[in-house]
Structure 1
Amino acid sequence: MQTDPLFAPLTLPCGVTLKNRLAKSAMSDSLGDGCGDPTPEQIRLYERWAMGGAALTIIGEVQGDPHAAEKPGNLVLGPRSDQAKLRTLTQRGAQNGALLFAQLGHAGAMTHPPIGSPKGPSALSLPGLVCEAFTRDDIRALPAQFAKTAQQAKWVGFGGVQIHAAHGFLLSQFLSPLFNKRDDAYGGSLHNRARLLHDVVDAVRDAVGPALPVIVKLNATDQLEGGLTAAEALKVVQMLDQTSIDMIDISGGTYFPGAKSASDSGGKGPYFADFCRAARKKTDKPLMLTGGIKTREQAMDILTAGTAEMIGLARAFILDPSLPDTWRNNGSGTSFPRFTDPPEGGITAWYTQQMTRIGQDAPLDPNADLDAAIAAYEARDAARIPLWHSKFGKP
């Protein structure tokens, strides 16, 4: 019998094999305990995704520097981490042949001000976004910081790491001419703007060795005027082809204040498939396509056309935590909710609260109010801030 393309194994350049082509892509699940450690709900969430058939799940925004975190629900890998809780997470999230990766995060200019010190490639003073500029010494220290975090991820049992260079966080900021106005070796030309990413990739690989998967998440476009363009992003893909990484995860959009994320933009179908097809001509690395993939048919088309080797899904895995098993049995999966005039951040908050319910083994609440979801999301973060200060100190 011919193997279903969705469930064919994929061997990465490092030699590690993914059991199928379906990945739960990185999301900020907001389920840390406020002290940088996992909660029982977070552990259960990743266990459920693993038991549901995912080949790969990625925990978004795992921080090495607690003063550069995106939110107080992030995990932190450092000398004060609860190693026992992290090992429980990595063991239970790697059941059923799944691999659990840590996304190496650093929010940079978009560090949450109540718990950190926003710094970016250049100083900015915009509505909702104020940051200082990194010094050259600050920048030179970053690759070693990423490498140390990756090494700790390996030590506590993560099966691989993803270097986050998308969605407007630190490495994405350096790539973007909208954020990066530097006139030194880290700004100006694309080669210079990509220098930090290249240095981080090399440092992480040296730290974890040749056998642990290292992948990069990259924006196809910032979807912001003056940001990274698709043409420049293709050149970054070509640069990454010359490195030791094992896969490039193609996504897009930027969490710039007031901007819609790609998943909220209302586009139809896989958002970045055209870019992925162009990227295939620039690299022999496996590609993962993330964003806008909702149906089994769309995923099959991407694989059979050779557009990408892996399918990255996020919200689909929330609506059906056993999505791979559903698709293996030829089910179509669940329908996506439709929201009329959603408030800013409402859809993200709605899905985040649903992840909490999955981790509690509670049924999804399709009728949950968006404003109530925002209020619950913000209240939970507010309650964590003093816990973060107690553990890591005030910024």
Structure 2
Amino acid sequence: MSDALGDGTGHPTAEQIRLYQRWAAGGLAVSIIGEVQLTAGYAENPGNLVFNEASDLERFRELARHGGENGTQLWLQLGHAGALAYAPTSNPKGPSAFNLPGLRCVEITRDEVRQLPEHFARTARLAQQAGFGGVQIHAAHGFLLSQFLSPLFNKRNDEYGGAIANRMRPLLEAVEATRDAVGPSFPIALKLNSSDKLEGGFDEEDALKAVAALDGSSADLIDISGGTYFPGAKSASDRAGHGPYFLEFARRARAVTTKPLMLTGGFKTRAHAEDAVASGAVDIVGLARALVLEPSLPILWKADRKPEPLFPKFSDAPDGSITAWYTMRLAEIGADKETPDFGGLEQAILKYEGGNKSRTQVWLRHFSNESGHTQE
């Protein structure tokens, strides 16, 4: 999850460190910090971490140390928001230029695409030096590598556009550059959409081809998810229904890869998790909102004390409000101030937007001279 708990300069805060310490104490095998940016120019939120040579390595080492307590592996999810970069701090760039309501971006140049793999590799190398347990390359949810995979947003006619073999080229090159940087034993995971749920976009057939191609790569784990944050798209996590969202696709993916598979989305009970693993479709279960509601859920599950957390029910929720609510709940956990009472969506939105506004001002001051920022 994107916790939006960075300090506005791309560094971790005490609350963010405490959040991952809480999850480590709760019995997680692996925590993944969502949306750690390679540069300041294309973040999805001003609360994102930014990790490169300009960062204070000691502050990241502190995060790795506390988030890695109790035998937990703490991984960084390496991201580039591309066309979905947060406009107040970015000049959004995607595979192709768009000028639509809610989606405006210029086309990323061929030279910039060719530099991307080294940017992923550089941040992964720093993560290894700082003591993190692994990295996950984010190619899902409509961010840059996911945009390249989608024929709806990738209209290029060079070696990075057209057939799926070309559209997945940036992803495969990022994996191999990262492997070269960190060596054979440092875990590299990959987050991939089963589809982006948009007509004319990245579909399951293309996703299966990507999984098959990744089977021949040096990636250690494929994390299957789905959906996109493009304006107007329906979130998979807000849909009606029960149970894991993408389990049927995971079964299809199992037939084309020998890589370990992780599935994220829709797991709300211990039975959901156990059944998915027992079926052989997946090896690892990814939890998100369930761990926001109960940070100690793994320990409670193992002790047979809490088969499922209590999920809040919201009706007529405005766009983005549920994400804001869960994000604010993360802040409460990091401050050791969570309560059993569920607050309202309006208050969560106000807090979320207020936090973004204040961090944006810090971000603009701090990164005003960094290459790749709004001045470019």
TM-score by length of 2: 0.97
Distance, in Å, in 2 between the alignment partners of 1:91 and 1:385 is 28
1:361 alignment partner, one of 330, 336, 339: 336
**Secondary structure at 1:236 match in 2:** helix
Over 3 Å counting, the alpha-carbon distance change for 1:130 and 1:365 in structure 2 is farther
Residue 181 of structure 1 aligns with an amino acid whose one-letter code is K
* Aligned equivalents of 2:10, 2:84: Cα separation in 1: 18
- Where structure 2 has 5 or more consecutive residues not aligned to the other structure, the ranges are none
Q: Report the CA distance between 1:264 and its aligned residue.
A: 1.1
1:198-238 CA-to-partner distances (Å, cap 9, x unmatched) read 11011010011111000100000101111100111011000
Distance 2:224 2:287 in 1: 12
SS in 1 for 2:89: coil
Q: Distance in 1 between matches of 2:241 and 2:112?
A: 38
Q: How far 1:154 sits from its partner (Å)?
A: 1.0
In the aligned structure 2, how far is the partner of 1:367 from the partner of 1:29?
18
Question: In 2, distance between residues paired with 1:159 and 1:277?
Answer: 28
Q: How far apart in 2 are the matches of 1:306 and 1:186?
A: 34
Do structure 1's residue 203 and structure 2's residue 177 form an aligned pair? yes
Are the equivalent residues in 2 in contact too, given 1:180–1:187 (CA < 8 A)?
A: yes
The one-letter code sitting in structure 2 at the alignment partner of 1:36 is G
Q: Deviations along 1:273-319, whole A, 9 cap, x unmatched?
A: 00000000000000001000100001110111101000000000001
CA contact (8 A) 2:312 2:342 kept: no
**Paired residues for 1:191-340 under 5 Å:** 191-330=165-304, 331-340=306-315
Identify which of 167, 171, 178 aligns with 2:152.
178
Encode CA deviations 1:125-150: one digit per residue, 9 max, x unaligned: 11111000011111111111111111
Partner of 1:33: 7
Structure 1 unaligned regions, length at least 5: 1-26
Among 111, 129, 141, the residue aligned to 2:103: 129
Q: Secondary structure at the match of 2:104?
A: strand
Q: TM-score, normalised by structure 1?
A: 0.92
Give the CA deviation at 1:175: 0.2
CA distance in 2, matches of 1:261, 1:58: 20
> CA offset at residue 366 of structure 1?
3.4
**Counterpart of 2:33 in 1: which secondary structure?**
strand
- Name the CA distance, whole Å, in 1 between partners of 2:345 and 2:164: 40
Q: CA deviation at 1:365?
A: 5.5
Contact 2:268 2:309 in 1 (8 A): no
Alpha-carbon RMSD across the aligned residues, in angstroms, is 0.9
Match of 2:19 among 24, 38, 45: 45
User: C-alpha displacement at 1:363, in angstroms?
Assistant: 2.2
Bigger drift between 42-51 and 379-388 goes to 379-388
SS in 2 for 1:289: strand
Report the number of matched residues: 369
Give identity over the alignment, percent: 56
Contact 1:346 1:373 in 2 (8 A): yes
Q: Deviations over 1:32-73 (max 9, x none)?
A: 000100000000000000010000000000011101111100
Alpha-carbon distance in 1 for matches of 2:242, 2:294: 20
State the Cα distance separating 1:258 from its structure 2 match. 2.1
User: Match of 2:228, as an amino acid?
Assistant: T
